[in-house]
Amino acid sequence: MSDQYIIRHCAPTLAGIKTGNLFSVQREPGEDYIDAIRRLNKILVPKGLRALILKQTEKIVLIYLYRPAMLNADLSREDARQILLEKGYPAEKTQSCIVRLVKRLASGDGFPHEIGLFLGYPPEDVKGFMNSPVEGVKCSGCWKVYGDEAKAKRMFANYQRCTNAYCRKIKEGNSLEQLVR
């Protein structure tokens, strides 16, 4: 799991303009991903971020990199809380919600659509996708948009500019630690 790979998949979260990102890595024999996450968190935690393994299979490791303060604010919104409560989450505590998400992923019942709330997607878009992944879609980018299309397009463009800038900086020799804000 190289710094360049993390930057490619998580630049907006590292820059502080997005709540969280998910990325997966191919499992390599003998690789200790728990230790890799521990090393990564030594860089991230002092800067207000955290990484954790959401799920492991024989082939992949799914990693969640996020900003706890932003996640807490996102999940505290009434529309987000309502979605979480409907899906059986203990919406009053962010850490308990993460634990529930891990259990939902482990259950093997498909990918829980409410995960968008943990990534900073607008609750109206998460709800729209949960109601119908096809009907009512105004546009697609990092997620399917059912609500404010103009705002979403601005966010998509900001995320792409950020990713491009961070990828350029890592190629210029900056370290992951230097790029985390």
Domain boundaries, position 136 = 3-174
Q: Please report which confidence band the pLDDT of residue 49 belongs to, taking 50, 70 and 90 as the band edges.
A: very high
pLDDT tens profile 71-130: 999 999 999 999 999 999 997 899 999 999 999 998 877 789 999 999 999 999 999 999
Residue 90 in domain: yes
First to last CA, the chain: 20
DSSP secondary structure string, 65-76? EE-HHHHHHHHH
Residue 179 in domain: no
In three-state secondary structure terms, 157 is helix
Residue 31 above 90 pLDDT?
Answer: no
pLDDT tens profile 136-146: 999 999 999 99
Residue 180 in domain: no
Split into its structural domains, the chain has a count of 1
Secondary structure element (H or E) that encloses residue 51, with its range: strand 50-56
Instruction: Report d(CA 127, CA 39) in Å as an integer.
Output: 36
- pTM (two decimals): 0.92
Q: Please report which confidence band the pLDDT of residue 181 belongs to, taking 50, 70 and 90 as the band edges.
A: confident
Residue 181 in domain: no
pLDDT, mean over the chain:
93
